[in-house]
């Protein structure tokens, strides 16, 4: 796993962005950026090239699943790995995310080890 | 009071606080709450629709929430500020999500809105729906918090 990869953390709650960034820093990542919903994430993607998107599902304006669909529909961003980190744990949500092309899925609450394991699965 | 409804919220709360904040809370006896005055200083509220409509709220006193968020962030939090309010919203969101997962296994599908947070000493939490308001008290090392579940239908 390339620890210099550029990561975009998308969540409407600053608390969760902070917790995720703390965990990513513990793993060794340094190039960490954030957005507070799907639409601001898309603006950020236009500004800079990202290697990984970590996004919540339930967000105002543009949700995580809408962001995922927009990313996968884009010629430019469609190959960016996308980790959904969400409180939405019902089967229907997981199926919907898989159909939309999510790379992996973490249910809140989570441990640092779970995030690390999911990233290893995505990047091999 | 229906244990099938109450237990998923108790289990979800223990799971969220244990996993995200390494805090083991003890549960008191659930009771029917009659007044609107919150049992603490900051409340997260989230609307539910689906198998039944209603709201759940989680009200923390200052001692409990400062300890919980300090553990979540790995640094000491000393003031009830916007960061704490934001954390209460996310905790409410996670508790709702975990409880809905367990309720799904019991055949009850719920959908949740985005949480809101209310702060202030003696603030009120008014559940608009007509169902009974069940309060579940919890104790932590540094304080207490209460979950209220109000579902109709």
| Residues in chain B within 8 Å Cβ distance of A110 | 19-20
Q: Do A87 and B19 touch (CB under 8 A)?
A: no
Question: pLDDT confidence of B3, banded at 50, 70, 90?
Answer: confident
Structure confidence at residue B153 (pLDDT): 66
Structure confidence at residue A1 (pLDDT): 86
Structure confidence at residue B111 (pLDDT): 92
Asked if pLDDT for residue B9 goes beyond 90, the answer is yes
Contact yes or no for A44/A35 (Cβ under 8 A): yes
What confidence tens digit (pLDDT) does each residue in A44-98 have? 999 999 999 999 999 999 999 999 999 999 999 999 999 999 998 888 899 999 9
Q: Looking at the DSSP assignment, which residues form a beta bridge with residue B139?
A: B26, B144
Higher-confidence position of A24 and B133: A24
Mean pLDDT in residue range B54-72: 96
CB within 8 Å of A117: residues ≥ 6 apart? none
Q: Which residue among A14, A19, A89 places its CB closest to the CB of B97?
A: A89
The overall average pLDDT reported for chain A is 96
| Residues in chain A within 8 Å Cβ distance of B94 | 87, 108-109
Mean pLDDT in residue range A5-21: 97
| Residues in chain A within 8 Å Cβ distance of B16 | 108-109
Q: Looking at the complex, does the CB of residue B96 fall below 8 Å from at least one CB of chain A?
A: yes
Residue of A nearest to B117 (CA): A13
Distance CA A39, CA B3 (A): 41
DSSP per-residue letters across B108-143: --EEE---EEEESTT-B----S-S-EEEEEEE-SS-
Contact yes or no for B46/B129 (Cβ under 8 A): no
Confidence (pTM): 0.92
**Structure token digits, residue A6:** 């550029």
The length of chain B in residues reads: 153
Q: Do A89 and B15 touch (CB under 8 A)?
A: no
Distance CA B110, CA B101 (A): 9
Residues of chain B above pLDDT 90, percent: 78
Asked if pLDDT for residue A39 goes beyond 80, the answer is yes
Mean pLDDT in residue range B100-121: 92
User: Residue B126's Cα: distance from chain center in Å?
Assistant: 14
Residue of A nearest to B95 (CA): A87
Distance CA A109, CA B97 (A): 9
> Which residue blocks in B2-61 are alpha helix, DSSP H?
3-21
Question: pLDDT confidence of B1, banded at 50, 70, 90?
Answer: low
């Amino acid at each position: 796993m390339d620890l210099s990869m550029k990561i975009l953390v998308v969540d409407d709650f600053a608390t969760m962005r902070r917790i995720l960034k703390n965990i990513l820093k513990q793993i060794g990542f340094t190039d960490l950026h954030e957005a507070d919903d799907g639409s601001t994430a898309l603006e950020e993607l236009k500004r800079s090239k990202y290697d990984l998107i970590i996004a919540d599902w339930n967000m105002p304006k543009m949700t995580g699943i809408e962001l995922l669909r927009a990313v996968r529909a884009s010629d430019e961003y469609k190959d960016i790995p996308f980790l959904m980190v969400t409180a939405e744990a019902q089967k229907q949500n997981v199926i919907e995310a898989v159909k939309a092309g999510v790379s992996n899925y973490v249910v809140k609450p989570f441990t640092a080890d779970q995030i690390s394991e999911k990233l290893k699965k995505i990047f091999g | 009071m229906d244990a099938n409804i109450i237990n998923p919220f108790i289990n979800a709360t223990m799971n969220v606080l244990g996993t995200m904040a390494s805090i083991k809370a003890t549960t008191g006896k659930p009771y029917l709450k009659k007044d609107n005055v919150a049992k603490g200083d900051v409340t997260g509220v989230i609307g539910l629709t689906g198998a039944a409509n209603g709201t759940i709220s989680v009200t923390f006193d200052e001692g409990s929430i400062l300890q919980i968020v300090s553990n979540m962030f790995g640094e000491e939090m000393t003031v009830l500020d916007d960061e704490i309010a934001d954390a209460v919203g996310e905790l409410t969101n996670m508790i709702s999500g975990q409880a809905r997962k367990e309720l799904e296994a019991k055949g009850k599908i719920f959908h949740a809105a985005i949480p809101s947070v209310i702060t202030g000493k003696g603030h009120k939490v008014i559940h608009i729906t007509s169902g009974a308001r069940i309060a579940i008290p919890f104790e932590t090392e540094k304080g207490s918090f209460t979950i209220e579940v109000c579902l109709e239908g």
